[in-house]
Copies of this chain bind each other. A is one copy, B any other.
Amino acid sequence: MASKVQKPLPKATVAMVEESQAAGRVREIYDDIKATKKIDFVPNLWKTLASHPPLLEQIWMRLKVTMAPGRLDALTKEMIALAVSATNGCSYCVNSHTVAVKKLGLDNEGLGELMAVVAMFNATNSLAEGYQIEPDIVPEV
């Protein structure tokens, strides 16, 4: 149960590269992150990945392509990201994707519907596994 005693919160396991320390390719990626996301700071995920610049580059380049609107719009993609993060229990990720869906206009009612769907299927997933449900034989769609 929760303690009344104050305890330190763990921090990242490596030192982050602060914006003031960023140079060269890291600097360019930081600028691209702020411009692409229309934010005035570099989130800690990226400042941590910069501890190994090739990882920062790979992940950012792939994320930028993945999140560009296509058949699915930006809000749908962020809602899916939030559903994945809630299912995995990733605290940092849930917080950042919740900020994103709110900025894109999702209100508490929409967020509640999203969470209801996430909860429903985490429940049915465990039932399908817990009973080892047989695959349905259905015509190809």
**A interface with B by C-beta (< 8 Å):** 1-14, 16, 41, 43-45, 48-49, 51-52, 54-55, 58-59, 62-63, 65-67, 70-72, 76-77, 79-99, 102-103, 106-141
Which of B10, B97, B118, B129 is close to A80, meaning CB atoms less than 8 Å apart? Answer: B118
22 chain-A/chain-B pairs, Cβ below 8 angstroms: A1-B13, A2-B11, A2-B95, A7-B9, A7-B11, A10-B91, A10-B132, A12-B131, A44-B135, A45-B128, A54-B65, A55-B127, A72-B110, A72-B117, A80-B83, A86-B129, A92-B135, A94-B130, A94-B132, A98-B132, A118-B127, A120-B123
Q: Are B116 and A55 interface neighbours, CB within 8 A? A: yes
Closest to A63 in B: B120
Among A89, A110, A137, the most chain B Cβ lie within 10 Å of the Cβ of: A89
Residues on B with C-beta less than 8 A from A54 are 65, 112, 116
Q: What is the bound-complex CA distance between A48 and B71, given in angstroms?
A: 19
Q: Are B95 and A141 interface neighbours, CB within 8 A? A: no
Chain A contact residues, majority secondary structure: helix
Residues on B with C-beta less than 8 A from A117 are 66-67, 72, 77, 80-81, 84
